[in-house]
A and B are shown apart, each in its own frame.
Chain A
Amino acid sequence: MEFLVASGVGVLTAAGVYMLLRKRTFPVVLGLALLSYATNVFLFSMGRLTVNLPPVINDLAQAYTDPLPQALVLTAIVISFGMTAVAVVMALRSFLENDDDIVDLPESAMALNTDPETADANVAGLDSPPGASR
């Protein structure tokens, strides 16, 4: 079982990292999801792998499995689920605003704003809303 879990975590992580390094947002979001699955399985195994043992005090129990990683994994699952949703929404918004789903910032955003639309919008300076040019 150790081999199965360990290689499962390894394959999920490798696939996640590969997807994460892709150019477009959809594979990146999938990569994040795979990475979070790998992390959850990893966290689950940090309390040692045991089968058929109770996590809570029981008079008949011979031994126990560590309950803390299970509680941590539940929290991590909820957070990573929410985070994946946030990443999807951000990716969608970026696609709608930019008309493409490439992750990299264009040269213009790194140093200069060459977008004529936003640049023309506030020639009058103070009359325009704050920061409209950026």
Chain B
Amino acid sequence: MNHWIIMPILLPALLAPVLVMAARYDIALARMLSVAGSVALVVLTAALLASASGEPPQMYSLGDWPAPFGIVLVLDRLSALMLVLSAVLSLIALAYAVDGWDRRGKHFHALWQFQLMGINGAFLTGDFFNLFVFFEILLIASYGLMVHGGGPDRVRAGVQYVVVNLVGSTLFLIAVGMIYSVAGTLNMADLALKVPLVAEGDRALLNTGALLLLLVFSVKAALVPVHFWLPGTYANAPAPVGALFAIMTKVGAYSIIRLYTLAFGADAGLSAWIAAPWLMPAALLTLGLGGIGVLASRTVAHFAGFAVIGSMGNLLIAVALFTPQALSAGLYYLVHSTFAAAVLFLIADQIAQRRGPESDRLTVAPPFAQSGLLAVTFFLGGIAICGMPPLSGFLGKLLILDSARTSHSATWIWTLMLSISLVSLIAFGRAGSTLFWKSSALQPTVPLDEDGQAKWPAAPPLPLLAIAAMLATIVALTGFAGPVVAWMDETAAQIHQPAQYIDAVLGVARGHE
């Protein structure tokens, strides 16, 4: 048994109390510990990714209790990919946060580590009740992070976020209860074996439970019609937290991929592909609404929020096709859209800080420090999230469109994805020209030096480095698209062979190891 599998949960779980107790009044020590922990997490998850690439899914049973009675963690290619993604994203967002955001309230780093613990746990667990528990851990930490720094609007948005997610948790428990009452198990692999055997009379209860779970995961993934909490929450959250939250919608997407291919996939008998007829229309609507929202937004942060919704639409269209080819394209797009959305929140914050009273509103206002540099980052971020060549968003969308050719809803998918790309391109073009181009004609608010250049106060380099690092990952994802897609193909193939996962968890119980 590979004991390293539990380390992505243990490391932040042990680090967070140390941060609370030992580094409570010492922000420098807290920063050092937190960044060191995040670096260690990146190294650790990269090692797990290497291990998962070469081997079939691996199981870790806590306390050595045999599955399905004990609690298990499962590491396969999909969960390893998500772990690496969240570790890299959190390291870059943390680098942005240590520039000053973490000082604006208490316990920022401890909450951050607890958030990572919940996210990593949700990706690793092989059991639905534990998925619920890890969801709660990541949510409790996110409530604290969301209102970090305070302020009337932020706290009020925080209350809404808490209420929506508590209702989501309630539905999660009801769904888990329904599934347990007819299947008699909550272990994901065991459930996959039990679902085809459920009696005819209990089938309706099982399907209701499965679709209620889809609703719960859709709340997390911000799918229409339960997307409404996202723009207000993300736009009012502190910028580095908004960037980290880019992975939270992906937790919902990951859960949808995991459950509806493993337990309700091809082998589920009468419940096979139960999510597909609901997921596809919802994903298409989500994409459309995201595009309209981007066009209607009046601040850059809201812009980024609706761009997240639109990108979730693209991603879940790929998931809802439920073919290995589409899933591979979707996973590539998932990695891309996480970084593309996160970088937009950081850019929005940089613009807001520099523009003073105008904040990040899309208005013409006097130019600000490093306007040109930020315009370049905004341009690159816009290209990435709209899916324009040459960056990876274009490749991701192309792969999704290609994999949708044989689908029944191909006409809808092609029409919507292409027209929404155009709509968001228009919206980003308009926003960029308002913020940077038209504004450059006005007089700067600071005094001019003898050459007629504005004398800006010195800007800290770290936030810009963090933004550059996010953009660099997108460029790397574009440059190495070939190997990455090949790896994703194998991952999608593994997800579409649930027998591998089931054997890893229940191999001993089923008598063939």
**A contact set with B: CB distance below 8 Å:** 20, 25, 28, 32, 35-36, 38-39, 42-43, 46-48, 68-69, 72, 75-76, 79-80, 82-83, 86-87, 90-91, 93-94, 97-98, 103, 105-106, 108-113, 115, 118-120, 122-131, 133-134
Give the CA-CA distance A120 to B158 in the complex, in Å. 24
Give the CA-CA distance A91 to B457 in the complex, in Å. 39
Closest-CB distance, B335 to chain A (whole angstroms) = 27
Contacts A/B (CB < 8 Å), 16 sampled:
A39-B174, A42-B173, A80-B169, A90-B162, A91-B159, A103-B156, A105-B156, A105-B232, A110-B232, A125-B355, A125-B369, A127-B457, A130-B100, A133-B352, A134-B153, A134-B236
A47: chain B residues at CB < 8 Å are 180-181
B101: chain A residues at CB < 8 Å are 130-131
Q: Is the interface of B mostly helix, strand, loop or mixed?
A: helix
Supply 11 further A-B pairs (C-beta < 8 A) apart from A20-B163, A79-B136, A110-B232.
A47-B180, A90-B155, A90-B158, A94-B159, A109-B232, A113-B359, A113-B361, A124-B457, A125-B354, A126-B369, A127-B457
B76: chain A residues at CB < 8 Å are none
Closest-CB distance, B243 to chain A (whole angstroms) = 13
Give the CA-CA distance A129 to B104 in the complex, in Å. 9
Per a CB cutoff under 8 Å, which of B177, B232, B239 touches A43? Answer: B177
- Which residues 105-135 of B have a CB within 8 angstroms of A? 129, 133
B298: chain A residues at CB < 8 Å are 111-112
Say yes or no: B140 contacts A122, CB within 8 Å.
no
Closest-CB distance, B193 to chain A (whole angstroms) = 18
- Which residues 178-217 of B have a CB within 8 angstroms of A? 178, 180-181
**B contact set with A: CB distance below 8 Å:** 99-101, 104, 129, 133, 136, 140, 143, 147, 149-160, 162-163, 166-167, 169-170, 173-174, 176-178, 180-181, 231-232, 235-236, 238-239, 297-299, 301-302, 349, 352-357, 359-361, 368-369, 445, 456-459
Say yes or no: B180 contacts A28, CB within 8 Å.
no
Give the CA-CA distance A113 to B302 in the complex, in Å. 12
Say yes or no: B239 contacts A130, CB within 8 Å.
yes
B181: chain A residues at CB < 8 Å are 46-48
A72: chain B residues at CB < 8 Å are 129, 176-177, 180
Given contacts A87-B163, A87-B166, A94-B155, contact A130 B349 (CB under 8 A): yes
Give the CA-CA distance A79 to B168 in the complex, in Å. 13
Say yes or no: B239 contacts A123, CB within 8 Å.
no
Given contacts A72-B129, A125-B457, contact A131 B149 (CB under 8 A): yes
The 10 closest A-B pairs by CB, nearest first: A109-B153, A46-B181, A133-B359, A46-B177, A111-B298, A97-B152, A94-B155, A126-B457, A43-B177, A119-B357
Say yes or no: B238 contacts A131, CB within 8 Å.
yes
Which one of B101, B140, B163, B238 has the greatest number of beta carbons of chain A within 10 Å?
Answer: B163
Given contacts A72-B129, A86-B140, A130-B239, contact A42 B177 (CB under 8 A): yes
Residue of B nearest to A32 (CB): B166
B160: chain A residues at CB < 8 Å are 103, 105
Say yes or no: B162 contacts A86, CB within 8 Å.
yes
Residue of A nearest to B458 (CB): A126
A130: chain B residues at CB < 8 Å are 99-101, 104, 239, 349, 353
Given contacts A75-B129, A109-B153, A130-B99, contact A82 B232 (CB under 8 A): no
Give the CA-CA distance A105 to B160 in the complex, in Å. 8
Given contacts A42-B177, A90-B143, A129-B104, contact A112 B459 (CB under 8 A): no
Residue of A nearest to B368 (CB): A125
Which one of B143, B301, B353 has the greatest number of beta carbons of chain A within 10 Å?
Answer: B353
Give the CA-CA distance A25 to B162 in the complex, in Å. 11
Give the CA-CA distance A83 to B297 in the complex, in Å. 32
Closest-CB distance, A94 to chain B (whole angstroms) = 5
A111: chain B residues at CB < 8 Å are 297-299, 302, 361
Give the CA-CA distance A79 to B118 in the complex, in Å. 14
Say yes or no: B159 contacts A109, CB within 8 Å.
no
A125: chain B residues at CB < 8 Å are 353-356, 368-369, 445, 457
A36: chain B residues at CB < 8 Å are 166, 170
Give the CA-CA distance A130 to B99 in the complex, in Å. 9
Per a CB cutoff under 8 Å, which of B143, B154, B238, B369 touches A86? Answer: B143
